[in-house]
Structure 1
Amino acid sequence: MSESNCCTRRPCDLKKTVILVGVDNSKESFYSLEWTVDHLLTPTLFNNQQDIPFKLILLHVKNFAGPGLSCELVEADHKRTASVVADKAMEFCRDRSISEYEIEVLEGDARNKLCEAVDKYHAHMLVVGSHGYGAFKRAILGSVSDYCAHHAHCSVLIVKKPKNRQNRH
């Protein structure tokens, strides 16, 4: 029996796993980014940045203003928010020594755009934060994480920020 070539490949020859993280201007989304970096991408787990077997893509989706609402002020606010989110994400990655990442800003419904980005980037995992809304708020507002969990063509990790637990050791 001959040995397969796949067993002799070096890590740099392997295609990197694509992890897409949805970010907005909420504490929950940045907690999900922090969790992803701390648990999956920590450079200290690898010899150097090139050894990290993941490609990180950060996606921010600007809300679509809708018919009749697309005035200059609303559009300017969306652009400002997108710029703030992108700057915070870049600063976070820089502070954590993550140099291999991309940031993309899209416009539209976050649920659909995240699922479309999964297909576009051939993502292996989509990470989204959870706002922790109750059933009533989810029914009224809709849940991006729930929609993605049912419609994205990859594994979906929903990161929920733990509530502060006092008197626990």
Structure 2
Amino acid sequence: MATAAGEEKPVMIVGMDTSDHSTYALEWTLDHFFVPYAPNPPFRLFVFYAKHSSPYRYMEPFALPIVDSHLKQVAAGVMERAEQICLSKSVTGARFKVVDGDPRLVLCDAVDKHAASVLVVGNHGYGAIKRAILGSVSDYCAHHAHCTVMIAKKPKIKKAKSASPV
């Protein structure tokens, strides 16, 4: 996509996974950076999913094709959901990519490869202990990606306080 001056538009990458948090991040991005500017958004959009590799060394050989097939189905489902979200908001021209590897590294590599200006990721809202054990893709990207990183946090739904009996 070229701009009026013939220059390429900057690239925006959205990282997806199987969570509602990444779905929220994609929807938020589309609503704020693409829908208001249709049909001429200010960015080229790439949506990435990092497909985890099978833990080959720890598996029985007969299970490898089954696990690989499942991982491919999950990746296809995530990308299909992302495409449907884009279509539901009339956003066209997005590119969808599945890459094998650790999500943190996949996203930072994608930023470098595509010279992205912005990376958008969701946030699971893990506490300090869970984040220390599981790691945090958003935290890693915020510290290592060579571009602006936006962390789209899904708002917490506050429970309504019930009226106390008098």
Tell me the TM-score range normalised by the shorter chain.
0.7 to 0.9
**C-alpha deviation, 1:24, in angstroms:** 1.1
Q: How many residues align?
A: 155
TM-score (norm 1): 0.86
CA displacement, residues 119-160 of structure 1 (integer Å, 9 cap, x when unaligned)? 111100000000000000000001011011010010100111
For 1:67, which of 56, 60, 82 is the aligned residue? 56
For 1:151, which of 144, 149, 159 is the aligned residue? 144
In the alignment, does 2:65 pair up with 1:76? Answer: no
In the alignment, does 2:59 pair up with 1:54? Answer: no
Separation (CA, whole Å) in 2 of partners of 1:66 and 1:82: 17
Q: Is the 8 A contact 1:11 1:53 kept in 2?
A: no
Alignment of 1:1-169 (within 5 A): 11=4, 13-42=6-35, 45-46=36-37, 48-49=38-39, 51-68=40-57, 69=59, 71-166=64-159
TM-score (norm 2): 0.87
Separation (CA, whole Å) in 1 of partners of 2:101 and 2:159: 40
**C-alpha deviation, 1:166, in angstroms:** 4.8
Residue equivalent to 1:3 = none
Q: Is the 8 A contact 1:58 1:104 kept in 2?
A: yes
CA displacement, residues 63-83 of structure 1 (integer Å, 9 cap, x when unaligned)? 122332471121111000011
How large is the RMSD of aligned CA atoms in angstroms? Answer: 1.8
Identity over aligned pairs, percent = 45
Q: Is the 8 A contact 2:111 2:145 kept in 1?
A: yes
Separation (CA, whole Å) in 1 of partners of 2:83 and 2:159: 32
Residue equivalent to 1:5 = none
Q: Is the 8 A contact 2:33 2:41 kept in 1?
A: no
Shift in alpha-carbon separation, 1:84–1:12, aligned structure 2, 3 A? farther
Separation (CA, whole Å) in 2 of partners of 1:12 and 1:128: 30
**C-alpha deviation, 1:165, in angstroms:** 2.9
The gaps in structure 1 that reach 5 residues or longer are 1-9
In the TM superposition, structure 1's runs of 4+ consecutive aligned residues that sit over 6 Å from their partners are none
Q: Is the 8 A contact 1:127 1:156 kept in 2?
A: yes
The gaps in structure 2 that reach 5 residues or longer are 162-166
Aligned amino acid, residue 104 of structure 2: R
Q: Secondary structure at the match of 1:15?
A: coil
